[in-house]
Structure 1
Amino acid sequence: MAEMTFDPPRVDTGRQPLLLGTFGHTVNDAYTAFLPALLPTFHRHLGLDEATLAGLVALFGLSASLPGPLLGRLSDRFGEVPVTAASVLFSSVLLSLLVVVPSASLLFALVAVAGLGSAAIHPAGSMLVRRGARRPEFAVALFSAGGMLGYAAGPGLIAVARDIAGPALPVVLILPGLVAAAAILAFAPRNADSSVRPVAAAPRFDIRLVFGPVGLITLATASAFLPATAVLNGLPLYLMERHGLPETDPAIAGMLSTFSLAAAAGGIGIGFLAGRLPRTWLLAGVMSAGMPAFLALLWLAPGTAGFMVSLAAAGALSYAATPILVVAAQDLAPQAGATAAGMVFGLGFALAGLLYFGVGALQAQIGVGAALSIAFVAPIVSAILSVVVLRRAPAALPAPLIESLCACAAASGTGIVTCAPSCALSCNGVSRNA
């Protein structure tokens, strides 16, 4: 008889990790928004000029992204629950200290270390929310959307805390992170509570992840996220030059808010569709459909109905590839799922920023509009890579039918041979064949 490698599934396995992982990501990213919200304070009280503040932001971006694959190893080794909780607590403590940092040297040191919390939570949290989920792309999409919502709420959290805390401001700011970390540790099921037995992690970082299909997924991520990076950093400048808008024009602030909210909604929508449509062609379609919406922003006048529709469409499609790319990378590295997710979340975003430096250099040579046009068509590279690579990723059959068959086989103890080769369930966040 075939030996079944999973236990009978429990009904609520996927919901609790999903809620707790998303909650932790929301709280963590609220703290990451403290830095941009406090830049005027650093300028006023520490005397930092614009170039120094830009360097501070860049330093945090590197700290919060590049160590992702290495910190993902912690999750693969020790489990996603303790690493997710520790990441939230780490970010809450260090980033809350920004409000009382006394000097520029300590500020840079604090920022350089504080980004590690975000670098760790993305691979660990994305594995946690997948635990037992029937639609892993949808789970990762909710996880990503929670981070965007938290980032939007961060500046408001500082404002409210200042009104009620007084001298105890850092302590008050730490409390949400402390509560979130405690809730994750107390209520998130460990591997022993999962519906599938854990898979042993690889003993060390596998360099083949970089040069194999996961590395190609990371490159696809970089080109897929380049248009969003260009919108958030370059489009305001273009609108100021082409349409004569002042930098304080409400249209610019409204543009960024609309784009971010649409991105959160789009990621959830695509994550929902990923369980119902072939993910390879869905991913290619999302990237292809986004290019006309991005390019239209260069020709339409800001504030018009057409501009807002194109902006919302571009935002909805900008990060929609995230859940599909993250899940594909995890499935391609079944013994190092968090490390693979760290490559997508960390190196992918870092490479997108590096590519934007090239776009910035082109702006001086060929103009802002022409350079942004190149950035906006970059997802075609990602679409090609995705079609090639995702054909090699393990694909699960529709969950309800297969889970029912395999649960029946496991419950009966018969070990039905015809069920074993085709059954795919989430094992510690990674699809595994029974």
Structure 2
Amino acid sequence: MAELTLDPPRVDTGRRALVLGTFGHTVNDAYTAFLPAMLPTFHRQLGLDEATLAGLVALFALSASLPGPLLGRLSDRFGEVPVTAASVLFSAVLLSLLAVVPSAPLLFALVAVAGFGSAAIHPAGSMLVRRGARRPEFAVALFSAGGMLGYAAGPGLIAVARDLAGPALPFVLILPGVLAAAAIHAFAPRNDENTVRKVAAAPRFDMRLVLGPVGLITLATAFAFLPATAVLNGLPLYLMERHGLSGGDPAIAGTLSTFSLAAAAGGIGVGFLTARLPRTWLLAGVMSAGMPAFLALLWLTPGTTLFVAALAAAGALSYAATPILVVAAQDFAPRAGATAAGMVFGLGFALAGLLYFGIGALQTQIGVGPALSLAFVAPAVSAILSVLVLRHTPAASSVSLVETVCACAAASGTGIVTCALSCALSCNGVSRNV
């Protein structure tokens, strides 16, 4: 059972964890954006063709997602703070070396390993930010939004550094990551600073995570992420085919930027709503509302007010389910929360990419528009799976009203620390007893 300590709670612990975890995710994902920003350089300097560059991107996507559950075990075993800090440092060093890699074989080897930093920070960071958070879904939403903002800023950062740094470019690029990792390691709260004791980690990877509710949540995540994957990869092609836009048309770049910014805002909005609405039906509603917004993109003219409105709505709803799904997976695996988060972030994204391969194959058979339509209605499958699984979310053991009030008051920092030694469910959502 998760027990409250008798020490007065430290009210700033949750805020520090949230800020530093989100900051680490922002910095890490800014580094991951270096790869797409440097693809033209690899084409020009190393002579790589389009197919080879696509393989490079696919390799990084796999290394940044598939190892997530296994690397999440590191966080469950050694703690979120050191793994989060090490992940940022790992990404900073290896991805900064992209600026000076001398050959294609070394480039592929570097990219294959560099993705591990992203694979590790998602499970570790998502556990760190919910420390002391009264609304864990909101904390994970901010964590996710920070990554999106970092990814959007990455190409601009490497362009500025390239103009200013000269031969010292890799060292200049590494520096922000080193500073961020040091700040996380020095100032992020450890387990003994939390008001709720950490549940002991499971001694090994539990295959029931794959075959049980966490596995179903991961599958639901894949269908939930498929529309966003289709927009980012297939919608530009559709706009070129249907509306005659060129590959460099500002409307295409503006479409992707608007979609990404709206996605960052949407997750935060859903994080707010989880405190006011049942998360099962909120999740189903978010997924259901997103489908008509995505489908409208296939019929509206780019650049019009209605198209921008539909695009913003689709973006806001595209990843809005992420915080609910991640927190639900962690609640189903209280002894392996980071491993469960790694499955959602890692395997969920990887399966979404695999599903999109099928959509891509259909594009040549039935056309881009009809194939994208199938991707855009995929959240219906996710909504059904999510409702079925989340209806059985672990509940707290029964405790008296006095115990619950006293324990939750202590956890929330009101200073009432003498009347309850334990509670079955922490008020801040950090740990659930199963």
Match of 2:222 in 1: 222
Count residues with an aligned counterpart.
425
Match of 1:424 in 2: 426
Q: Which amino acid aligns with 1:406?
A: A
Deviation at 1:4, TM superposition (A): 4.9
Shift of 1:402: 8.9
1:341-386 CA distance string (max 9 Å, x none): 0000000000000000000111111111111000000000000000
The residue correspondences of 1:162-311 to structure 2 (distance < 5 A) are: 162-311=162-311
Aligned to 1:98: 98
Aligned residue identity for 2:406:
L
The separation in 1 between residues aligned to 2:272 and 2:218, in whole angstroms, is 22
- Distance in structure 1 (CA, Å) of the matches to 2:246 and 2:417: 70
The runs of at least 4 aligned residues of structure 1 exceeding 6 Å deviation read none
Taking a change above 3 Å as real, the CA distance of residues 265 and 4 of structure 1, as seen in their structure-2 partners, is closer
Quick one: which amino acid aligns to residue 87 of structure 1?
S
* Superposed CA RMSD: 1.9
TM-score between both structures, scaled by the size of structure 2: 0.94
In the superposition, relative to structure 1, how do residues 369 and 425 fare at CA in structure 2: closer, same or farther (>3 Å)?
same
Q: Structure 1 407/346 Cα, relative in aligned 2: closer, same or farther at 3 Å?
A: closer
CA offset at residue 210 of structure 1? 0.3
Contact map agreement 1:425 1:432 (CA 8 A) in 2 = no
Instruction: Output aligned runs, 1:149-164, within 5 Å.
Output: 149-164=149-164
> How far did residue 199 of structure 1 move?
1.1
Q: Say if 1:44 and 1:187 are closer, same or farther in 2 by CA, change over 3 A.
A: same
Q: Secondary structure at the match of 1:21?
A: helix
- Name the CA shift for 1:404/1:67 in 2 (closer, same or farther; >3 Å): same
Instruction: Find the partner of 2:420 among 412, 415, 423.
Output: 415
Separation of aligned partners in 2, 1:26 and 1:155: 13
SS in 1 for 2:205: coil
* Unaligned ranges ≥5, structure 2: none
1:405 aligns with 2:406: yes
Instruction: Give me the whole-angstrom Cα distance separating, in 2, the residues matched to 1:263 and 1:407.
Output: 33
Whether contact under 8 Å (1:295, 1:373) holds in the other structure is: yes
Given that residues 87 and 120 in structure 2 are in contact (C-alpha distance below 8 angstroms), is that contact kept between their aligned partners in structure 1? yes
Alignment check: 8 A CA contact 1:9 1:196 kept = no
Q: Is the aligned partner of 1:55 residue 2:55? A: yes
Return the offset for 1:285: 0.1
Counterparts of 1:420 and 1:176, CA distance in 2: 41
Whether contact under 8 Å (2:196, 2:431) holds in the other structure is no
1:360 equivalenced with 2:360 (yes/no)? yes
Q: Quote the Cα distance in structure 2 between the aligned partners of 1:335 and 1:3.
A: 11
Contact 1:14 1:133 in 2 (8 A): yes
Q: Which runs of 5+ in 1 are unaligned?
A: none
Q: Using the alignment, how far apart are the partners of 1:409 and 1:247 within structure 2? A: 58
Deviation at 1:424, TM superposition (A): 2.7
CA distance in 2, matches of 1:6, 1:328: 25
Residues 426 and 272 (structure 1), Cα distance of their counterparts in 2 relative to 1, 3 Å cut = same
Aligned residue identity for 1:22: T
Change (3 A) 1:272 1:3: closer
